[in-house]
Structure 1
Amino acid sequence: MTSTHFDSRRIGPPLRDHYDVIVIGGGISGAQIARHAAGRGLRTVMFEAKDYSSGTSSTTSKMIHGGLRYLEQYDFGVVQEAVKERRYLGIAAPHLVAPRSFMLTAFEWSEPKAPVLGAGVALYETMAWQRNQGQSKENHSPRFRWIPKNALLKEVPWLDPEGLKGAWRHDDTLNLHAERLLLAIIKSFAADGGTAINHAKVTRILRNVEEGRVRGVEVTDQITKNTTEIYAPVVINAAGPWVAQALGDLAEVTKLKVRQSKGVHLLTGDLGSQSGVFVRGKNGKHVIVNPWMGRTLIGPTDTMIDGDADDAVADESDIDLLLETIDSVRATPLDRKNIISTLVGVRPLVDDGSDTYTSSRRFDIADHANVGIDGLVSVSGGKWTTSRVMGYKVIEHVVEHQAAMLPPLRHFDSRQLPLTTSFGAYDSVADSFESALRSHPELDLDDEIRVHLARLYGTEHEKVLDLVAKQPDLGRRLDPANLDIAAQVVFAVAEEAAVDLADVLDRRLVLGTLGYVKPAAVRATAEVMAQVTGWSNTLIDARCHSYLASQDKIQAVLKPYR
């Protein structure tokens, strides 16, 4: 009976009753842990209470970065590790990451002064001396250099010229579509035999009190509300800001302490620069101004919060802080009408006693055997860039401490291993895209749509094109101003476990990540979903209304600024 549960939302083999490892959480932390467990040959299942990337993993600055500002906090270990991991992600999925130049600005009034900033950038790049090894040509980054004031203003025309000295230019990496990169990692996990289930909430961790160890989890299907038990000698809790909540009645026993930091970004129209800008405002706060997909992200804030991470929203104080910071370094205040939307995420930080802004981005492995729950491990902290090495270290910890409970293992080294959907041995990303342009020549699709699909899906773009070949009408755009097509919606539901409109629009397509989605595009998406799900017109109306209402809540906080 268990194997039939969750089948419509399964990526990977059918669900079974018993596993070696159960992973709670389908964000980037859970996905990388699960991937490394399956890579080592462990029978692994991963449960996500909502949808993949629906939490912190999608609400980022769209960067894979070494964490230059952590040098200011003397967090050299985190930076050293991160610059290595940045390179490995570029090797794993070069079609989904790209180099991005950042300007580290220096004003007469700003601290540290330009020479000190330059020394920090030099140290940063020294740590990343191998940054181009194994990378595709497009992902090679040049050495850092000083950009004087006049040249800087040509590249970043909105900067305030008064007191501006110039900027140190260095390269980090752009995370082009975090949601699709995370899905590619999950598919690599599934290719190694792992099973991922979304909209499946772990409602209880099962343990044998007499033996003093975990024995599995109780999982509730969030759609049908059916409940089932899945058994394993190891349970890894990687639920991000919900890590304590996932422990349920064991939270008090484990005494796990995690701090929550709310990060808010403003999403605006194009501000006219190709390079990102890393700047400290006159209020002492940092912001990253990052051009992305014809939009610009400004942020993040870093504010300690309490309570349920589900309740975190952007409020006027968040927006005011970002506007105060960015306006203090602009020639003219940011046009408030240019603000499209906000992004809100909650970071789970290791509780080291510092404020959230200076709290370390390291990760922490808490083994609850020390409180009599052997086989239960919780993971907190970390970030996108270092998620791979975190997954590796968590599984190495489990293998070391649970060897008696696990089967024989195989070697698995993911450092320079492409994801299963990444293109093969092309000299460059451009070459792989050129190959994609020649696929299905009979289809009447614009080249820019073909490249769009190759960028997002890697080798699986062929599957999307197959759908168009079978049903040419699926080649139509969902919105005239966007490259997403109807076939992507069918693929999202049939192959990628998408259940509702937000799953598709916000986390499988590009459309919903770019801000407010027009009602006509929402309706068009719902009608295509109905072809697969069998939704009635009444249900289509209800789903559209719910999605538009959630958009309206996000837009409501912006009304005072327009």
Structure 2
Amino acid sequence: MRQQHCDVLVIGGGINGVGIARDAVGRGLSVILCEKDDLAAHTSSASSKLIHGGLRYLEYYEFGLVRKALLEREALLRLAPHLISPLSFVMPYVSGLRPYFLLRAGLFIYDQLAKRELLAGSQSVRFSKHISGPYLKQHIQRGFLYSDAWVDDARLVIVNALDAQERGATILTHTRCDAVQSHDGRWRAQLSQHVQGVSQSIEVNAACIVNATGAWAAQLQGLFEPKEKPKQLRLIKGSHIIVKRLFAHEHAYIFQHPDGRIVFVIPYENEFSLIGTTDFEYQGELENLTISSDETAYLCNLCNAYFQQQISPADVLHSYAGVRPLVDDGSADAKSITRDYQLEFIDDPAPVLHVFGGKITTYRRLAEDALNMIAPYLHCEAKAWTKDVCLPGGDISSPQPSNQNVREFPRFIQQCCERYPWIAVSTVTRMAHAYGTRIHQILGGCKDAKSMGGQVLPGLFACELNYLCINEFARSAEDILWRRTKLGLHLSRDSEEVLNAWLAQHHPLFAPPSV
């Protein structure tokens, strides 16, 4: 058994867990993070890929949550301009749903709740004169245009974990927390790590534990407080489908459903449209979630009510599902449950912080609030800092977050294409978005295609794979193709088998035991 000591043990490798780990280690605390699977393997890679204020939450008078999210929106754009980019949304007005004046008023409030420097304000639009109009059914004549942002959700998790590690944190993937026990005001946590079919036990002596396990948070809470009733969470399943691209422009659509829910249709990975999400109560198993046939039909039918081009379940190329753990606020309807987070801190018999709820847009603020809560118990006087330091790869023109970093990113892509002319423009563009300035760590020593170590799969070279395994915690083809590169959407079905075989040969400690 290995034994380790730390100030903070973070359990959970989703966006909230890695955000807290990064903030904590940056304040001078020693940090260990454990995740039972891959980073972002669950809810944090199953989102709608949006950094947004949550326009529809205004209906439920969640002005504080919307303002908090809107403030974070542009802050995150500056922190990671390679992973987060502005996106404009087309909202058609349909008679019989939300009134026109209500939509206009909501957008006005949305524009005014937080200062904007990078994103345009809302405006009304006539579809007969707008590029988005020809794809909509002819009876839809007018609507609105407003701005939010798009994010590569899984990579946002990865770069937070990467930054935490580079600052001194220990990141343990495929490592489960099996038991905790208090002793002299500290915690002893029993961890079990599973790599390449081999297990080892790790004992961590921690001054404080953070439970950031998302949908499993209430379950894990029982380890710390077995005599207390665990927090009531409402598990809300959100599913998405991916189809061939439905329109030839860069705007996204936001559609209203007669049941009050809204669904986004977003340009995705150049060739596709991402459609989601559903919003239904869920009480089943949390592992290996999949979309139901009813959810698929729900999303297809809503698109067909707006678009001239009709789709069916047969057109779905890929789908994914996740569960959002929302704090039970007594709302009868899933769509009206608050998306705000709650932090519960207990210092007896030893300090533990439970994280409940939250959304990807507010993860940095959640982490900051979490550290402000636990820091006094750890005699840490360091102040909040994460808003002022770019995430890895985000320092496009300045090491500090700035509007210029965001505005210079298109030029940065062009410079990368000029610097690496032997690589396809599409591959360089993908890598620039994925890694930002870290692309030069991968390609900087290469002079031609041969020096990249060979092309393992179309557009995926050995030098990038080595970087992902050594630096970004990748352990399998699934990790690489679906969470770190999204190339799984573009490649043939046997690509995972080919890549796992390559990993077995070149990174045998990481490759799945089945290879």
| TM-score of the superposed pair, with normalisation by structure 1 | 0.83
Deviations 1:379-429 (A, max 9, x none): 0100000000000001101123x1xxx244323322232113322426411
- Please tell me the residue identity of whatever aligns with 1:91: R
Change (3 A) 1:38 1:151: same
Following superposition, the deviation at residue 183 of structure 1 comes to 1.2
- Please tell me the residue identity of whatever aligns with 2:227: V
Change (3 A) 1:180 1:190: same
Instruction: Find the aligned partners of 1:410 and 1:281 in 2 and give their Cα distance.
Output: 47
Instruction: Find the aligned partners of 1:366 and 1:186 in 2 and give their Cα distance.
Output: 23
Determine the structure 2 residue equivalent to 1:553. Answer: none
Following superposition, the deviation at residue 144 of structure 1 comes to 1.3
1:21 matches 2:8:
yes
Following superposition, the deviation at residue 50 of structure 1 comes to 0.3
1:465 matches 2:443:
yes
Deviations 1:455-478 (A, max 9, x none): 211222122215755982646555
1:304 matches 2:281:
yes
1:496 matches 2:465:
no
Change (3 A) 1:332 1:268: closer
Gaps of 5+ in 2: 399-403
Deviations 1:119-175 (A, max 9, x none): 1001101113x221xxxxxxx3222111113134x414332222x241110010011
Determine the structure 1 residue equivalent to 2:337. Answer: 359
2:496 corresponds to which of 512, 522, 528 = 522
1:271 matches 2:246:
yes
Determine the structure 1 residue equivalent to 2:427. Answer: 449
Change (3 A) 1:508 1:107: same
Deviations 1:259-289 (A, max 9, x none): 2111001111100142111111234432111
- Please tell me the residue identity of whatever aligns with 2:461: I
1:321 matches 2:301:
no
1:151 corresponds to which of 105, 108, 129 = 129
Following superposition, the deviation at residue 332 of structure 1 comes to 4.9
1:431 corresponds to which of 406, 411, 417 = 411
- Please tell me the residue identity of whatever aligns with 1:58: S
1:261 matches 2:241:
no
Determine the structure 2 residue equivalent to 1:215. Answer: 187
| Residue aligned with 2:237, SS | strand
Instruction: Find the aligned partners of 2:8 and 2:470 in 1 and give their Cα distance.
Output: 27
Equivalent positions of 1:187-202 (< 5 A) are 187-202=162-177
Following superposition, the deviation at residue 362 of structure 1 comes to 0.6
Determine the structure 2 residue equivalent to 1:506. Answer: 482
C-alpha contact (below 8 Å) 1:24/1:236 kept by paired residues:
yes
Change (3 A) 1:214 1:468: same
| Residue aligned with 1:460, SS | helix
Instruction: Find the aligned partners of 1:530 and 1:361 in 2 and give their Cα distance.
Output: 42
Gaps of 5+ in 1: 3-15, 133-139, 544-562
C-alpha contact (below 8 Å) 2:15/2:44 kept by paired residues:
yes
1:118 corresponds to which of 85, 97, 104 = 104
- Please tell me the residue identity of whatever aligns with 1:463: Q
C-alpha contact (below 8 Å) 1:93/1:422 kept by paired residues:
yes
| Residue aligned with 1:392, SS | helix
Determine the structure 2 residue equivalent to 1:552. Answer: none
1:57 matches 2:25:
no
- Please tell me the residue identity of whatever aligns with 1:241: A
Instruction: Find the aligned partners of 2:135 and 2:259 in 1 and give their Cα distance.
Output: 19
- Please tell me the residue identity of whatever aligns with 1:131: R
Change (3 A) 1:417 1:146: same
Change (3 A) 1:236 1:249: closer
Further displaced range: 192-201 or 444-453: 444-453
Instruction: Find the aligned partners of 2:281 and 2:397 in 1 and give their Cα distance.
Output: 45
C-alpha contact (below 8 Å) 1:216/1:234 kept by paired residues:
no
Determine the structure 1 residue equivalent to 2:180. Answer: 205
Further displaced range: 251-260 or 339-348: 251-260
Determine the structure 1 residue equivalent to 2:144. Answer: 168
Determine the structure 2 residue equivalent to 1:555. Answer: none
Change (3 A) 1:540 1:91: closer
Instruction: Find the aligned partners of 2:455 and 2:245 in 1 and give their Cα distance.
Output: 23
| Residue aligned with 1:19, SS | strand
- Please tell me the residue identity of whatever aligns with 1:159: L
Q: Work out the percentage of aligned pairs sharing the same amino acid.
A: 26
1:31 matches 2:7:
no
- Please tell me the residue identity of whatever aligns with 2:352: L
- Please tell me the residue identity of whatever aligns with 1:490: N
Q: CA RMSD in A?
A: 2.5
| Residue aligned with 2:236, SS | strand
Instruction: Find the aligned partners of 2:164 and 2:481 in 1 and give their Cα distance.
Output: 24
Instruction: Find the aligned partners of 1:448 and 1:328 in 2 and give their Cα distance.
Output: 34
C-alpha contact (below 8 Å) 1:88/1:416 kept by paired residues:
no
C-alpha contact (below 8 Å) 2:127/2:134 kept by paired residues:
no
| Residue aligned with 1:342, SS | strand
Change (3 A) 1:363 1:283: closer
